[in-house]
Amino acid sequence: MSFVPIKFAGSDIPTVEDLRNCIHCGFCLPSCPTYIATGHELESPRGRLHLIDSVRSGRVDINDRLLGHLDLCLQCRACETACPSGVPYGRIMEDARASIMANPKSLQPRQWRLRTFLLRYVITQPIILRFAIFPLRIYSKIKLQNLFRNHISKWVPKRIADLEALIPEISSKSFRRRGILASPEKISARVALIMGCVQGEMFPQTHEATIGVLEELGCEVIAPPSQVCCGALHLHAGDMQKSRELAKKNIEVFEEYQVDAILVNAAGCGSTLKEYGHLLREDNKWAKRATVFSNQVQDILEFVASLMQNSNLQKNLSTLSINVTLQDSCHLAHAQGIREAPREILNQIPGLNLHEMRNPDRCCGSAGIYSLVQSEMSNEILATKMEDILTTDSSIICTANPGCTLQLQSGVRQSELDAEVLHVIDLLYRSLSQK
Amino acid sequence: MENNQLATLISELLQKIDRSKILDAPEDLLVYEYDTSIDRAIPDVVILPTNADEVSHAVKVAEIYGIPVIPRGSGTGFAGGALPVKGGILIVLTAMNNIREIDVENRTAIVEPGVINLHLHEALEPFNLIYAPDPSSQRICTIGGNVGTNSGGPHTLAHGSTVNHILGIEVVLPSGRIVWLGGKQLDTPGIDLRGVFVGSEGTLGIVTAICVNLIPTNETIRTMLAIFDSIDSASEAVSAIIRSGVIPMAMEMMDQETIKVVEPRVQAGYPVDAGAVLLIEVEGLSEAVEHDSAVVVSACNDLGAREVRTAESALERESLWEGRKSAIGALGQTAPAIYLLDGVVPRTKLPEILNKVLSASSKAGFKCANMFHAGDGNLHPTVLFDPLEHGATDRVLELGGEIMKLCVDAGGSITGEHGIGLEKRSYMEWVFTDADLAAMEKVRFSFDPVGNFNPCKILPTGHGCAQGHMQITDQHFSAPGVYV
């Protein structure tokens, strides 16, 4: 990954106002998974902010070393929770990455260019995504996976084996239904559902569970057919242009529906959807509409937790006598500040024992495409996470985001743990549908 | 340093230190140019050793090349103590972070210098033991850094600062020799060099292991929040409590400016309209705590406290402390930069000095927030400013000097816990005579005859310090009273 050193370019260069909130107190360091793993200031939020500031002010250019430090960031935003001065780290890192990718194509780091290309032309294209996942589905179905894992894995390079371990056991169907998905007799609220890109392909059951729970709560559920990917992965990879394009499309689509809330069951998407207002703040035509959209967005868990109290839902839950531990998805806890809702929901399930792990809000190493592009660090972080999970003696690990679920499933396989990884809503629905 | 000289220096380091522990790329060095102070200085090389032998090797190499050696922990110092003012080898000790031993029977622990203060506290919890010093930055500051600056913390009031809890240290001397000063025993024969070392900010050698003294946790802890309409009445309450014979474990004050930024962040129930609050903690056997807290409550009420609340749960206690301990950072929200000072005044003079501090800062045109260890008179006036505003940094530094002078004139001192570092060297002359300083210099040179161990720190003298690598204070060398 060698290239001619470059500077920040374009109109999204991190602002002095954002950067100078940092007073270098260092409180973010112990919350940062990569600082914990390396002990290097270079791999800490404070260090990266200083590097970004140094690039911005022209003291240094971005070469491959510096790029490496920026690239090792998970964008988990745990530092934002730890920061007493309110530095908007996630935004600064997104801006920095966008300003790297705003350079002419020939100057862009090659690996980043490839990433942007794949995100643009695979993730956002449902049909191509389906094609891309299809071999994995077959792989899973005809049990090639077992063959690889039991026999072949020891003969291939570790990096390949690590990547293979990420391949989930994918259900043979995907969730493709759109339109009105639930219409109970007595409607208490009308909601629109964000279908995401990966969720429906990899975890169709989570959509089923979401719809099932909402229906039980008396919600009419609509999935606007022409909605597109939320653009979170693009934003994190520096493709701000594409994420703005996607944001506008979604705003346009959802404006057509009169709903009480726009719900999303992937925390990573939710945090970006809630930030559309900021993403389009300088676009006169869109700024206001984006803010209106963002204000309507709620994570499925915060929505369900707020309705649960005054509903009959609890009466219809059957007992699940199990030990459960909860991984706070970073983009739920750190980016959206939602910590209580998943716990409130789990604690409503009769018989369920929520056994908290150490550092439940520390990243599992998934971080969108991070587990693919930084597999070594991702695995190191996952190993620590699995140690914390093991001590809870849980048979179910709950998350709130498909990326976390994939990563923890891989962790469960690697540590040969007998546990299931589910979205909180999956478990709630299981308790609901067993009656 | 010249490029070819740097290359040979690195090849010498490589003889005993792995390449992965050596940083020399310009962009890598950038993140080691700061700590939490106002200044910046770039090292020539950074090493991240994992054992004392590597430290010793680096020290010997530095001696051959005649270049400075500077120890650094997490880089959270407020006085610029870890800045490589004259370049050289910056020895970052964060990778030496093992707790080597917890000896429950003897109530001691041996830790490496990179161990984070809070991590030691957490490791001791199951044994009902504590390591008393608990600086507000304890979640990230290292024990090595605490030893270097003789750190305090809220609980210094009852237990004393770091020096009172260090039994022995392993140090790499400027010659490269590795020796133990003190040991696991409470008293060791000979001159107490351990005591000389604690607070020497890396000017005498580099600490590579620390034997700390532990104390048992108390049966009962009660945390109270006393709310006052003014700083004056809160300060008087502090004196009244001490006068009554009760020594709380901690007595922390926050003024309105601070409460206003802290409360929205932690939502601990700090009243944003109060003039000042005191966070008071009493500990001991439950009967004693009962008695002591009654004394505290009545003393506060006598001095017109609006209310004295008691934390009802561990959670409430934690959030009150979270508010206090993150106060400095939270102030960063209100201004682009803050300048945190560290001074000590006799407790009885608290109201008088605080008023003078506030009027001095408003005269200079700055807001000043105060949160501090009221029980031991350790002030932390925090000046809020914008470094991009023309001349602001100059005026802030000048104001800092003025505030320090106020403390000294009141019979106090220029540091309670942050150390002297780079920023307060010039104030040393206000508290010490030439003869005092000469004596200190003799001690320093008996360890480090060349003066290459963390040069330009603590003592106001030092050859060539004015031509250092500093970017900010360089411009201020001509300003009287500051950084001369």
B484: in domain: no
Q: In terms of domains, do B180 and B230 share one?
A: no
User: What integer pLDDT is reported at residue B482 of this predicted model?
Assistant: 27
| Residues in a beta bridge with B207 | B171
pLDDT of residue B466: 54
Establish if A358 touches chain B: CB-CB under 8 angstroms.
Answer: no
Same domain as A102, residue A148: no
Is residue A174 assigned to a domain?
Answer: no
CB < 8 Å to A39, chain B:
48, 94-95, 97, 114
pLDDT number for residue B266: 86
Q: How many domains are there within chain B?
A: 4
- Confirm or reject contact between B140 and chain A (CB < 8 A): yes
Would you say residue B477 has pLDDT above 50?
A: no
Task: Give how many domains chain A has, as a whole number.
Answer: 4
B17-to-A31, B11, B66, B410 alpha-carbon distances in Å: 29, 10, 19, 50
Instruction: Please state, rounded to an integer, the average pLDDT across all residues of chain B.
Output: 90
My answer on whether A184 and A297 are in the same domain is yes
Which of B47, B74, B260, B384 is best to mutate for the A interface (most A CBs within 10 A)? B74
Residue A320 lies in a domain: yes
> Do B272 and B344 share a structural domain?
no
Asked if the structure places residue B481 within a domain, the reply is no
Place of tokens 């693009």: A234
Is residue A319 domain-resident?
yes
Same domain membership, residue A140 and residue A195: no
Residues from chain A that touch B34, judged by Cβ atoms under 8 A, are 24, 50
**What residues of chain A lie within 8 A of the CB of B263, using their CB?**
none
Residues A363 and A393 occupy one common structural domain: yes
**Is the pLDDT at B378 greater than 50, yes or no?**
yes
Q: Are residues B205 and B251 in the same domain?
A: no
Give the CATH number of the domain where residue B389 resides. Answer: 3.30.70.2740
Asked if A39 lies within 8 A of B35 by C-beta distance, the reply is no
- Whether B120 is in a domain gets the answer yes
Please, which residues 388-447 of chain B have a Cβ atom closer than 8 Å to chain A? 388
Domain that holds residue A139: 113-166
Do residues A187 and A294 both lie within one domain? yes
CA atoms within 13 A of residue B58's CA, in its CB half-sphere: 31
**Tokens 């112990």 appear where?**
A30
pLDDT, residue A435, reads 59
Q: What is the pLDDT of residue A166?
A: 67
| Mean pLDDT (whole number) for B20-30 | 95
Does B482 fall in a domain? Answer: no
Q: What is the pLDDT of residue A253?
A: 97
Are residue B71 and residue B165 in the same domain, yes or no?
no
Residues B125 and B69 in one domain: no
Q: Is residue B45 part of a domain?
A: yes
The residue from A304, A339, A368 where one domain ends is: A304
What count of CB pairs under 8 Å joins A to B? 94
What is the CATH classification number for the domain harbouring B140?
3.30.465.10
What value does the mean pLDDT take over residues B27-55?
A: 95
The pLDDT of residue A126? 75
Q: Chain B residue with minimal CA distance to A67? A: B27
Domain assignment present for B321: yes
Report ipTM for this prediction. 0.89
Confidence at residue A125, expressed as pLDDT on a 0 to 100 scale: 75
A186 touches chain B (CB under 8 A): no
Q: Tell me which residue in A27, A42, A65 faces B140 most closely, judged by beta carbons.
A: A27
The CA radius of gyration of chain B, in Å to the nearest whole number, is 22
pLDDT digits (tens, 9 = 90+) for B338-369: 888 999 999 889 889 999 999 999 999 999 99
Give domain status of residue A223, yes or no: yes
A51 touches chain B (CB under 8 A): yes
Task: Identify whether residues B427 and B472 lie together within a single domain.
Answer: yes
In the listed set B307, B330, B353, which residue is the last one of a domain according to the structure? Answer: B330
The answer as to whether A2 is a domain residue is: no
With 0.95 as the threshold, say if the pTM is over it: no
In chain B, residues with a C-beta closer than 8 Å to the C-beta of A24 are 34-36, 75
Residues B293, B343 within the same domain: no
b/e code B83-119 from CB counts within 10 Å (16+ = b): bbbbbbbbbbbbbbbebeebeeeebbbbbbbbbbbbb
| Interchain proximity A41–B25, CB inside 8 Å | no
CA distance A80 to A83: 5
Q: Residue A402's pLDDT is what?
A: 94
Same domain, A203 and A275: yes
* A79 and A104 fall within a common domain: yes
Strands (E) located in A311-414:
323-326, 353-354, 396-399
- Do residue B267 and residue B360 come from a single domain? no
CB contact under 8 A, A50 and B338: no
> Are B210 and B233 contained in the same domain?
no
One domain for residues A83 and A67: yes
pLDDT in tens, B430-444: 999 999 999 999 999
Tell me whether A47 touches chain B (CB under 8 Å). yes
Instruction: Count how many Cα atoms sit within 13 Å of the Cα of residue A3 in the half-sphere of its side chain.
Output: 23
Residue A402 inside a domain? The answer is yes
Q: What's the domain range around B50?
A: 3-92
- Please, are residues B150 and B199 in contact by the beta-carbon 8 Å criterion? yes
Residue A1 lies in a domain: no
Closest CA to A277 of A258, A257, A262, A297: A297
Task: Evaluate whether residue A420 is within a structural domain.
Answer: yes
- pLDDT tens readout for residues B205-252: 999 999 999 999 988 999 999 999 999 999 999 999 999 999 899 999
Q: Single out the residue in B330, B348, B382 at which a domain terminates.
A: B330
State the pLDDT at residue B464: 55
Bridge partners of B212, per DSSP, are B109, B166
CATH number for the domain spanning B13: value is 3.30.43.10
| Mean of pLDDT values over B5-25 | 95
| Domain boundary residue, one of A304, A324, A345 | A304
Is the CB of B32 inside 8 Å of chain A's CB atoms? yes
From the CA of A26, how many Å to the nearest CA of chain B? 6
CATH code: domain of residue B293: 3.30.70.2190
**B74, A51: Cβ pair inside 8 Å?**
no
Judge whether B483 lies within some domain. Answer: no
Do B232 and B206 lie in one domain? The reply is no
- What pLDDT, on a 0 to 100 scale, did the predictor assign at position B481? 27
Among residues B301, B330, B359, which one ends one of the domains? Answer: B330
Closest CB from B27, B74, B331 relative to A63: B27
Report the percent of chain B where pLDDT is more than 70: 95
Whether A186 and A297 map to the same domain: the answer is: yes
State whether A26 and B140 contact (CB < 8 Å): yes
Same domain, A424 and A319: yes
Let me know whether A184 and A296 are in one domain: yes
* B483 has a pLDDT exceeding 50: no
Separation between Cα atoms, residue B112 and residue B254, nearest integer Å = 34
Instruction: Provide the b/e sequence for B181-205 (b: ≥16 CB within 10 Å).
Output: bbebeeebeeeebbebbbbbbbbbb
End-to-end Cα separation, chain B, in angstroms:
25
> A-chain residues within 8 Å CB-CB of B27?
51, 54, 60, 63, 65-66, 69
Q: Check CB contact of B265 with chain A, cutoff 8 Å.
A: yes
Q: Which residues of chain A have pLDDT under 50?
A: none
**Same domain, yes or no: B196 and B225:** no
Q: Would you state the pLDDT for residue A201?
A: 86
Q: Give B462's pLDDT tier (boundaries 50, 70, 90).
A: low
* CATH number for the domain that contains residue A37: 1.10.1060.10
B248 & B196 share domain: no
What's the gap in Å between the CA of A51 and the closest CA on chain B? 7
Contact B27 A51 (CB under 8 A): yes
Q: Are residues A204 and A290 in the same domain?
A: yes
Question: In this structure, is residue B113 part of a structural domain?
Answer: yes
What integer pLDDT is reported at residue B161 of this predicted model?
94
- pLDDT grade for B476, boundaries at 50, 70 and 90: very low
Nearest CA in chain B to A38: B95
